[in-house]
Amino acid sequence: MTFEEKEKIVSELTEQFKKYNFIYISDNTGLTGVQDNGFRRILFKNGVTMQVAKNTLIKKAMENSGKDFTGIFSSLKGTSALMFTEDLKAPAKAIKDFRKKGEIPAFKGAWIDTDVFLGEGSLESLLALKSKNELIGEVIGLLQSPAQNVVSALQSGGNKLAGIVKTLQERPE
């Protein structure tokens, strides 16, 4: 690989690291060509971009991105496949679904909005995390619940109050 080719890869990766806040690293060693294509197809359907590069180039691109990736440097050993996504859980779900057929790919780590998750044990934690939209939905649901109770109480109370007033009006003196 020439110096220019390496610089091009570092430049492309740097842009990816700047663009995405959810980055996963896996080891796909042992996947056949057919399996690798199948895994990439699953990722693509879920809006995940995968790129394989040398660890030294990945590390250099991470350093050039302006973000602090130092916590994930320890996972850059052996073969590394990077997965870039806008969906927090998509790569974790894809890895878990693909593993139903075998034990590959191996999850090495993830960088989620400056938080670092390392090792296989973190994969289940990532699947359990709630996305921003899920959290917003829960907060809205919690805020709406008391308001709905007040509105329904006023509506039902209003009907009762109107009935009482009407009864009092119709009552002979």
Tens digits of residue pLDDT in 131-160: 778 888 888 877 777 766 666 665 665 566
Is 30's pLDDT higher than 70? yes
CATH number at residue 68: 3.30.70.1730
Number of domains in the chain: 2
Looking at the fold, whether 138 and 108 belong to one and the same domain comes out as no
pLDDT value at position 160?
64
Is 64's pLDDT higher than 90? yes
Looking at the fold, whether 125 and 147 belong to one and the same domain comes out as no
Looking at the fold, whether 96 and 79 belong to one and the same domain comes out as yes
How many other β-carbons are positioned within 10 Å of the β-carbon of residue 155? 10
132 alpha carbon, distance to own chain's centre = 9
Contact 45, 97 (CB under 8 A): no
Read off the DSSP letter of residue 130: P
Q: 23 falls in which pLDDT band (50, 70, 90)?
A: very high
Looking at the fold, whether 40 and 77 belong to one and the same domain comes out as yes
Give dist(CA 93, CA 149) in Å, integer: 38
Residues in the chain: 173
| 124 or 172, higher pLDDT | 124
| 138 or 43, higher pLDDT | 43
Looking at the fold, whether 114 and 148 belong to one and the same domain comes out as no
Element (H, E) at 71: none
Looking at the fold, whether 63 and 147 belong to one and the same domain comes out as no
pLDDT value at position 136?
86
Looking at the fold, whether 85 and 146 belong to one and the same domain comes out as no
pTM for the model: 0.77
Looking at the fold, whether 123 and 153 belong to one and the same domain comes out as no
Looking at the fold, whether 135 and 101 belong to one and the same domain comes out as no
Looking at the fold, whether 137 and 115 belong to one and the same domain comes out as no
Looking at the fold, whether 8 and 44 belong to one and the same domain comes out as yes
Looking at the fold, whether 114 and 79 belong to one and the same domain comes out as yes
pLDDT value at position 12?
96
For residue 172, the enclosing domain spans: 130-173
Residues 6+ apart with CB under 8 A from 131: 87, 88, 89
